[in-house]
Structure 1
């Protein structure tokens, strides 16, 4: 509510659509926003939002999450093609499909693209987060209506589970999901899951569930290359009819990190400012608007600093790092340096490739992928990389 009717009218006129858009981006639900003043804020029970209902609602698909709106690059190509194939022939190809990768890289977009595609073909689709699945399960247990729960999840054509890693919390829910999983596959129902890590590193799951996950088709998504990030920004601007010049687009791609949601948030911030202030977004203006969103720059950290510290800590000659040596410990050290250079400097993939004498940025992407895999599967290695990163940050 607003303090008075004049303020309520102003917010409704200027900001209601933007608030609704941000809410839809976050939740996938399109709300009706209306700000009232405190004097007229008596809200009827009929119009109040039932939070419990929203949490337990399934098949919430964001219509903007389609394959056509997904930007495909080297970092996500296999996941994209696998998801598309599964959607074209649900229950036949790539079933079950397990998509994994860190937060904000497009897993949910691909998951819901499968759902929207299948829904348009007349298929019955259930799309839930693992949290929604657990809430739904608990609700049906409390209401003594488990047959309805099982009918819903085991008789659909397509079951989409987002963030499946959280389902390992309780034995009862895990047991129910295990049986749902098996029965749906026996009926040739399509299952697509997303996770922030590969199956072998999931915590809390029974061996039999991990075994089922391991037999799924695996598709990982790694952080996007600079070219892919630029393409994502251009696509987002086209979709939302936002006009940003090339300089601003390159600035966002270079400085906003790899999280696609954060990149989209930066674009929305610029567009809100442009709409309200009626000003063109110049590079200087973009820097000013996004200064609190841009991750801390590592101005004093460069390639030489990273090579010096990593070489010393791993007891490897600096000259070996840039050599063509394929000795295991040298290759690993080189990959760690490439990974940390991408994380801690503002250098682009091509710049990193050039420094190490690589053909192109795809080689950089490959090395980063290898390190990400080790970090996700080897706790000791992960701690070693974190320790190296902290030493570099301290010196930088």
Structure 2
């Protein structure tokens, strides 16, 4: 590298550093490399076209002042964009900085409209609402802390969410991973945190996105050869909320790019919020380096709400909808629908709809009809104890034998089958299954599930065991 170019750029950086926010300096100026100085033109290398456009949009004036101080009024700044997968080809962009025309742009050998004073930000992907650097958060304002009622089942997660909303990136809850079963409010809580942050810190860039959409955007960026743009876009986010992060399972390319984005955000004090249907310890096909980072902050579980919380949720829902309902009917619904909040609210909406459309009075009998439909359509969850008893009876042994430390083949297989069906038919974590079936660890349960899968496809007799037990447990 030309020493003169480096010294000029170092002096420019010293001036820029004193005049902008430390975070902005770290994000937008530290990655720049001085390449050469010739004919009073300083060549600097930037990581991507997106990066270049951001500098032009936000820092052209300070760059002009800094370079003019070093090289005088005839100074030029040439951007060299480091292209991916182009075998070393470079695309130069030139900015001429005469004092008379306030940094007008001229382009060299490229088909890019550089004469637009406010060029539209080139997005690395499509999200409705992202234009001219305004990034829509994609948050749903209906999901708030006010309508996320606190109970024993969610107290830790909710309070951690409030702490993060008050001081994003400034608590030990970074990342905040909210996990739990279907319909327990993970997405609601994630949105609520984002909505609260936007209210308290309107200048912060908050973005909510599903892991599925994030993956699709990454795939598109690879196809279009703008992976760097994709990364740099996500690195400017202050609060990144990724829903259903378990969707990254098995997607090594997306995991790798998320790893680098996560590291950048975390190191720069930005907040990361994740939701998942399982705890980090139970996530399969997620790289260990990512899992270890998920554990840096707080993993907070949302559990099924208790009876009192379910009643409060229903009363709050009815109050918000302006509907009155007798307490005995509310309590009947709360008593019989226990699995998740989504079904609970769905049942009460169906009850109101049936009453208004069919002009029926809301009675306990009507509530019973609605609840029966919901319960019938909900997959029955059997307990781990019940599974152990069914498997033990099938193999004509005691539950204590199934849980014992013996390595006899038929007992080991029975134990593995019990673990396999516990994972299949319950929402319990692998660690919880192992603990209840002979005090094993989660790795043993994972191994058992893989063994059952393998034997089912290679051993005819073993496949019959699986089919017989499936019928018994799904009745």
- Structure 1 and Structure 2 fold alike (TM over 0.5): yes
1:124 has 2:205 as partner: yes
Whether the 8 Å CA contact 2:182–2:277 is kept in 1: the answer is yes
**Structure 1 runs of 4+ off > 4 angstroms?**
305-318, 369-377, 379-383, 387-394
Tell me by how many angstroms 1:315 deviates: 7.5
- The answer for the alignment partner of 2:22 in structure 1 is none
Distance (whole Å) between structure 2 residues aligned to residue 244 and residue 307 of structure 1 = 42
1:239 has 2:324 as partner: no
Q: Which of residues 94, 97, 112 in structure 1 aligns to 2:191?
A: 112
Distance (whole Å) between structure 1 residues aligned to residue 387 and residue 287 of structure 2 = 41
**Higher mean C-alpha displacement, 119-128 vs 145-154:** 145-154
Change (3 A) 1:225 1:315: farther
Tell me by how many angstroms 1:309 deviates: 7.1
Whether the 8 Å CA contact 1:58–1:128 is kept in 2: the answer is no
Bigger relative contact order, structure 1 or 2 (CA pairs below 8 A, ≥6 apart): 1
Tell me by how many angstroms 1:251 deviates: 2.0
1:264 has 2:340 as partner: no
Distance (whole Å) between structure 2 residues aligned to residue 86 and residue 266 of structure 1 = 33
Per-residue CA distance 1:45-102 (angstroms, 9 max, x = gap) = xxxxxxx867x99732121211111111111111111111111110011111111111
Whether the 8 Å CA contact 2:336–2:371 is kept in 1: the answer is no
Tell me by how many angstroms 1:141 deviates: 2.7
Distance (whole Å) between structure 1 residues aligned to residue 434 and residue 152 of structure 2 = 15
The 5 Å alignment of 1:197-212 reads 197-212=278-293
1:282 has 2:360 as partner: no
Decide which structure has the larger Cα Rg and report it. Answer: 2
- The answer for the alignment partner of 1:139 in structure 2 is 220
Change (3 A) 1:149 1:373: farther
Whether the 8 Å CA contact 1:255–1:295 is kept in 2: the answer is no
- The answer for the alignment partner of 2:241 in structure 1 is 160
Distance (whole Å) between structure 2 residues aligned to residue 317 and residue 156 of structure 1 = 53
1:184 has 2:184 as partner: no
| Gap regions ≥5 residues in structure 1 | 1-51, 319-335, 345-368
Per-residue CA distance 1:351-389 (angstroms, 9 max, x = gap) = xxxxxxxxxxxxxxxxxx956986977348999xxx999
**Higher mean C-alpha displacement, 167-176 vs 154-163:** 167-176
Change (3 A) 1:381 1:169: closer
Whether the 8 Å CA contact 1:257–1:295 is kept in 2: the answer is no
TM-score, length basis structure 1? 0.63
| Gap regions ≥5 residues in structure 2 | 1-125, 401-417, 453-467
- Partner of 2:375, secondary structure, is coil
Tell me by how many angstroms 1:128 deviates: 0.7
- The answer for the alignment partner of 1:88 in structure 2 is 166
Whether the 8 Å CA contact 2:174–2:296 is kept in 1: the answer is no
Q: CA-atom RMSD, angstroms?
A: 4.3
TM-score, length basis structure 2? 0.54
